[in-house]
Chain A
């Protein structure tokens, strides 16, 4: 099955700096890669996603890059703000054996702390 590794496990930055979180995946059939933000006591919330036919996607201060050959993808947050502090999860979606459905496999999470 799919295995997703995420690094670093914790990341501390000063407000205004950039933050980068990296993930690798094992299943070359994975074709959709969402990133979720989880705040304390809440469920994960989608912040950005990328599909396997695209190399990069940007949404304001957040960008995601995908390298299918190397099987890794990264989240970039620029001009970080204290409210960006949360746990961030990457995930990979793979279809189940020729079907149109599949499941997400999550990384272990990165605790991001942005200091004012």
Chain B
């Protein structure tokens, strides 16, 4: 059973709205990354946080933003939703002793 939990599991939003997705990582996992996975594609890197600071970002516009909190939880916020934002959003975390990332079960976002 994964130690990384995401909420909600599914979400339907209207174009133009804002959404916040949440992730709770295992204790000690001070690095968290967020990914967008469209159907039939590999996960696309959105950004990474380490000790509450963003330390890496992929090719996503500024309307994708995030936060990481001291209790190993994090958020992905997306403003001005577009139809193409419909995807599975995954968070993954790791601790300093192991480079492998553990994934949460994901949030399926549908924008209509």
A and B assemble together: no
